[in-house]
Amino acid sequence: MTTKVVIPSQGPMSRMLKVAKVASIVSNRIAKDSKEEQFLVQWQSASASDKPPLSWHNLSDLFMCLELVQDYLDARDEAIKRAPPLSKTSLKRKAAHFEADTDPPISFGLSLSSRSPSVASTTSSAPLSVDVYNGVLDRDEEGLYFCRSDPDAPQLSNAPTPEMVRISHQSKVDKAYHRIRAKYVARLNKVPGKPIHLVNTYDQTSPSLRFRFIPEYILREGVNKADPATQEGCQSCSPHMGRCIGCEYTQKCECLEYAAVNEAAITDPTVMSAYREAKDKGNSLAKFPKRFPYYAEGTKIQRAGTLVPFYLDSRRPIYECNDNCRCGLHCRNKNVQFGRTIDVEIFKTDGGRGWGLRCPQQLYQGQFIDTYRGEVITDTEATLREETAGKAKASYLYSLDKFGESEGLSDEQLYVVDGEFFGGPTKFMNHSCEPNCRQYTVSYNKHDPFVYDIAFFACRDIPAGEELTFDYLDKEEGEPNEDPGPDAIPCLCGASKCRKWLWT
Ligand SMILES: C[S@@+](CC[C@H](N)C(=O)[O-])C[C@H]1O[C@@H](n2cnc3c(N)ncnc32)[C@H](O)[C@@H]1O
């Protein structure tokens, strides 16, 4: 007679698993008696020579390790897609069998001991909520369950068996998908600021629970932001000049010192030659005409705060005023620093591009959407992460190289933003060869060429619900396209002028 160890059911929290000791989820099934979705947990083994213990658990036990359930479901989904299709008759027969008896036939000899005071023994004929296959369930001081190896138990090296795999592919996992979605939405609801919605009318999946929403960059080892003492503010401006919109005169505002010169505004030939000379010699261009980047209040309602054409149609960096400025909180030259002001929706795209981002309301040309957030890492660390994760990883890495050339910095000195595991909703923005958004450099410290914001703006009016996209290559006007290499990722943007690949 096989002994199984049963954990008494005492409400959902009483059986939470100790996540740190769970290695992975390796199978799933529907419990014969309770019809609960269950998952086979593979635990970490005490030593490398021990075979890891395995135990079946109801979904409710796994709330704290839903990330691992999600990993398992992704792999299961891939395996199902790769599996040869079953013939209609065999599918029907197996499904019928499965509904009648969903417990996998156990093809290995089980001999389980029950030495933990928190578990009770029963026989295989008793109704089981959870059964342990080759270990002993125990509880730590916080009451969390884990499974430790039992030297007397048989060493199971072949789980999941082919039979377990067959059953797992036919067993429903709707509740697991639902729980994962609920956990993701609960997290979204905690993100400060305007709501982020999650919409998936395509399948049951949710974006990765491993991702954490963060409001600011996380600076990792070796990354240094310029000393706050170097963040000069404009000292000659005030909130009460002219129209009371903060900075009013570009020539007064020291924040624009390094901003692009508006050459079209230089009509005097003497000024033009002085400008050319200063430019050639690398002298200060502070006194030449500049533009504030945003329309101020008082223009058309849909224009206020949007980019003026001088910036909209270019890749010119934007220098916003900062906390050390005298122009006040409501300066017309402060925008991106206040963050997103629109709702966004993360949605599952059709056509193989994964998740995408859209806005449920209409956006106007030049309107700020959000910044790209993530871990700021060194170039060396970025290369390491890229090599470890393979070519697809490159998609979440964003180089902060805007000032590299003008400041004479080498690639190794520059930083990279990795938005894969930490970031904001813009992580989900896909590429299009004919995009409706564009990325801009936004700096609050003109003396720091290393750490600045990457901000997305609508480059045309965007109707409510249209997917937000940008061009991943962000090339200068007229810059030629490189030929795609053998590893080039095919582009699925569907635009009529599609380049056919994402990057080389
Ligand atoms: C920054 S992520 C965008 C969000 C991503 N779709 C997701 O589900 O997390 C970049 C990745 O999205 C996919 N992607 C984005 N735009 C695409 C396009 N036009 N064609 C094909 N895949 C695209 C590629 O897998 C790329 O590596």
The angle, 0 to 180 degrees and rounded to 10, between the axes of the packed helices 66-82 and 174-190 is 130
Look at residue 493 in the predicted model and tell me its pLDDT: 94
Does ligand 1 have an atom closer than 6 angstroms to the CB of 393?
A: no
Look at residue 388 in the predicted model and tell me its pLDDT: 87
Q: Which ligand 1 atom minimizes the distance to the CA of 428?
A: 4
Does ligand 1 have an atom closer than 6 angstroms to the CB of 394?
A: no
Contact 69, 167 (CB under 8 A): no
Look at residue 216 in the predicted model and tell me its pLDDT: 96
Please list the rounded mean pLDDT of every run of 10 residues in the chain (504 residues): 42 71 94 89 82 87 94 96 65 36 34 31 36 76 84 70 91 97 97 97 96 97 93 91 87 94 94 94 92 86 89 95 93 96 96 94 97 98 88 78 93 96 97 96 96 98 98 76 78 92 77
Q: Which is nearest to 59 in space by CA: 33, 30, 32?
A: 30
Contact 382, 417 (CB under 8 A): no
Contact 39, 18 (CB under 8 A): no
Q: How far is the CA of 354 from the centre of ligand 1 (A)?
A: 6
Whether the link from the prior residue into 160 is cis, omega within 30° of 0, is: yes
Classify 196 as helix, strand or coil: strand
- CA atoms of 475 and 382, how far apart (whole Å): 21
Contact 277, 422 (CB under 8 A): no
Q: Which residues are identified as catalytic?
A: 372, 472
Residue 219: HSE in the Cβ half-sphere, 13 Å Cα cutoff: 8
Look at residue 125 in the predicted model and tell me its pLDDT: 34
Look at residue 17 in the predicted model and tell me its pLDDT: 87
pLDDT digits (tens, 9 = 90+) for 399-452: 999 999 999 999 999 999 999 999 999 999 999 999 999 999 999 999 999 999
Q: How far is the CA of 244 from the centre of ligand 1 (A)?
A: 44
Minimal-distance CA residue to ligand 1 atom 22: 353
Q: Is the pTM of this model over 0.90?
A: no
Residue with tokens 């600076």: 219
Residue 462: HSE in the Cβ half-sphere, 13 Å Cα cutoff: 26
- The end-to-end CA distance of the chain, in Å, is 62
Residue 458: HSE in the Cβ half-sphere, 13 Å Cα cutoff: 26
The alpha carbon of residue 32 and the mean position of all alpha carbons in its chain are separated, in whole angstroms, by 38
- CA atoms of 335 and 297, how far apart (whole Å): 12
| Residue 330 one-letter amino acid | H
Q: What is the ipTM of this complex?
A: 0.99
Does ligand 1 have an atom closer than 6 angstroms to the CB of 392?
A: yes
Q: How far is the CA of 431 from the centre of ligand 1 (A)?
A: 7
Residue 24: HSE in the Cβ half-sphere, 13 Å Cα cutoff: 11
Does ligand 1 have an atom closer than 6 angstroms to the CB of 426?
A: no
**Which whole-number Å values give the CA distances from 2 to 118, 124, 150, in the listed order?**
20, 6, 15
- CA atoms of 345 and 179, how far apart (whole Å): 20
Q: Which two tokens stand for residue 386?
A: 């890229």
Does ligand 1 have an atom closer than 6 angstroms to the CB of 369?
A: no
Minimal-distance CA residue to ligand 1 atom 4: 428
Does ligand 1 have an atom closer than 6 angstroms to the CB of 397?
A: no
Phi-psi region of 465 (alpha: psi -120 to 50; beta: other; left: phi over 0): left
- CA atoms of 450 and 462, how far apart (whole Å): 32
Residue with tokens 């533009």: 291
- CA atoms of 231 and 88, how far apart (whole Å): 69
- Taken as a whole, the chain contains a residue count of 504
Minimal-distance CA residue to ligand 1 atom 27: 395
Q: How far is the CA of 501 from the centre of ligand 1 (A)?
A: 11
